[in-house]
Amino acid sequence: MSRTGRVERTTKETKVAVEIDLDGSGVADISTGVGFYDHMLDQLAKHGLFDLTVHTEGDLHIDSHHTMEDTALALGAAFAEALGDKAGIRRFADAKVPLDEALAEVTVDVSGRPYLVHSEPEGMAPVIGRDYDTTMTRHIFESFVAQARVALHVRVPYGRNAHHIVECQFKALARALRQACEPDPRVSGVPSTKGAL
């Protein structure tokens, strides 16, 4: 059974097209106009083993906020579409990923109920590259969670370099999502006593 999702989202601020295959090999074609964000979405595909295409045209003459937010919303919607009824998946997963001096811990529940808990070290550099506002990492996850309908806990207990702090979060998210979405041969139907997720 194909587990793919495709979402197109157009507003006065952005035009976004996302395609995802949960059973891919990590192939990515990413273009948002925000270089570091492209790099992070590449990490999501590579370490999640998701085939991911993201093409976004946004109002970057204002700033990168709308571009990153709307891309994350479309990505979450495509992820939810690809999961379908979630029958036979593991549902829960966690991952710890270090990147030099930084460590990210991510736990996910493909629950049908969007919720985000997020913490990272204070005092990070405000910008990575030319236009990645580091306060947007939490908002990207909030936007993704809202549409993907997952419970996501992200914690970075320590780290100094802003690039490392953000990148290990995306890598850990990729690993956790990959495990949560994997089929479990022992699961029959939807992994919930409610009978729906």
Q: Is residue 129 in some structural domain?
A: yes
pLDDT in tens, the chain (197 residues): 789 999 999 999 999 999 999 999 999 999 999 999 999 999 999 999 999 999 999 999 999 999 999 999 999 999 999 999 898 899 999 999 999 999 999 999 999 999 999 999 999 999 999 999 999 999 999 999 999 999 999 999 999 999 999 999 999 999 999 999 999 888 777 766 676 66
State the CATH number of the domain containing residue 106: 3.30.230.40
pLDDT score recorded for residue 193: 63
Closest CA to 73 of 65, 63, 85: 65
The model's pTM is 0.95
In this prediction, residue 188 carries a pLDDT of 77
Tokens of residue 189, six digits: 């139907």
What's the first-to-final CA gap in the chain, in angstroms? 19
Sheet holding 28-31, edge to edge: 4-10, 14-21, 51-58, 28-31
Beta bridge partners of 29: 53
Q: Is residue 110 part of a domain?
A: yes
The answer to whether residue 113 sits within a structural domain is: yes
152 is a domain residue? yes
Q: Is residue 195 domain-resident?
A: no
Q: How many domains does the chain have?
A: 1
If phi > 0 it is left, if psi is from -120 to 50 it is alpha, else beta; for residue 36 that is alpha
The answer to the question of residue 58 being in a domain is yes
Instruction: Tell me, yes or no, whether 191 lies in a domain.
Output: no
Structural domain that includes position 91: 4-181
Evaluate whether residue 121 is within a structural domain.
yes
